[in-house]
A and B are shown apart, each in its own frame.
Chain A
Amino acid sequence: TQLLEQSPQFLSIQEGENLTVYCNSSSVFSSLQWYRQEPGEGPVLLVTVVTGGEVKKLKRLTFQFGDARKDSSLHITAAQPGDTGLYLCAGGGADGLTFGKGTHLIIQP
């Protein structure tokens, strides 16, 4: 069974600060997806990374896939209250997607 560990589990910071969320595994994944979930809704895809070392930017969010395709990070610059939510990483493999337990992020105004 492939496992994905996300850290931190909870993070509460002030508006304007920077933060990084980590997604780590001992397994190799064919791809790594990041989702964001708001209360009362289903997760929504933010980005997919498929190549080791790949970096993708989505406005103030920067996603990186590790060289060995075992880990990934999400960096948010100048966090805003609208970034508040549950961030989930999911690794792709032969058995489908494996989800991490998520990082609850709160951005205080």
Chain B
Amino acid sequence: NAGVTQTPKFQVLKTGQSMTLQCAQDMNHEYMSWYRQDPGMGLRLIHYSVGAGITDQGEVPNGYNVSRSTTEDFPLRLLSAAPSQTSVYFCASSYVRGFGNSPLHFGNGTRLTVT
């Protein structure tokens, strides 16, 4: 059972380039989300989805786009990379929106550096 799979594991971009971070889960979870983790800032929610065709903004959505065409996949797009987007990105999923007894299952992260 793969759980939550993120690719790539590492990426270096130049300012202004675009890219897509991939996330796939095989647990049939309705809820999927993207977080960024920065030193001293903790985990901050970028975007989330409660099901196929439904997405919404989190705490820090600017500069990122998402779509949810299938239950399994939830890609995160950086439209025009900036050095401030240098971070570790985590995709996470759960059965419901993450309260009560529904734990988040995290991928192993993508470490992105923007020069």
- Chain A interface size band reads 20 to 34
Binding stretch for chain B, among A14-22, A38-46, A76-84: A38-46
Q: How far is the CB of B41 from chain A (nearest CB, A)?
A: 7
A-B pairs with beta carbons under 8 A, tally: 59
If over half of A's interface residues share one DSSP class (helix, strand or loop), that class is named, otherwise mixed; here it is strand
Across the interface, A42 reaches (CB within 8 A) one of B90, B98, B99, B101, namely B90
Residues of A within 8 A of B (CB): 29-31, 33, 35, 40-45, 48, 50, 88, 90, 92-94, 96-97, 99-102
Across the interface, A41 reaches (CB within 8 A) one of B98, B100, B108, namely B108
Across the interface, A44 reaches (CB within 8 A) one of B44, B48, B97, B106, namely B106
Q: Closest B-chain residue to A97, C-beta based?
A: B98
B103 near A100 with CB under 8 A, answer no
- Chain B: interface residue total (CB-CB under 8 A): 24
A42 near B4 with CB under 8 A, answer yes
Q: Closest A-chain residue to B58, C-beta based?
A: A96
Tell me the B38-92 residues at the A interface (CB within 8 Å).
40-45, 48, 90, 92
- Complex-state Cα separation, A88 to B99, whole angstroms: 15
The residues of A that contact B106 with a CB separation of less than 8 Å are 42-44
**Given known A-B contacts A99-B43, A101-B40, A102-B42, A40 and B109 have beta carbons under 8 A apart:** yes
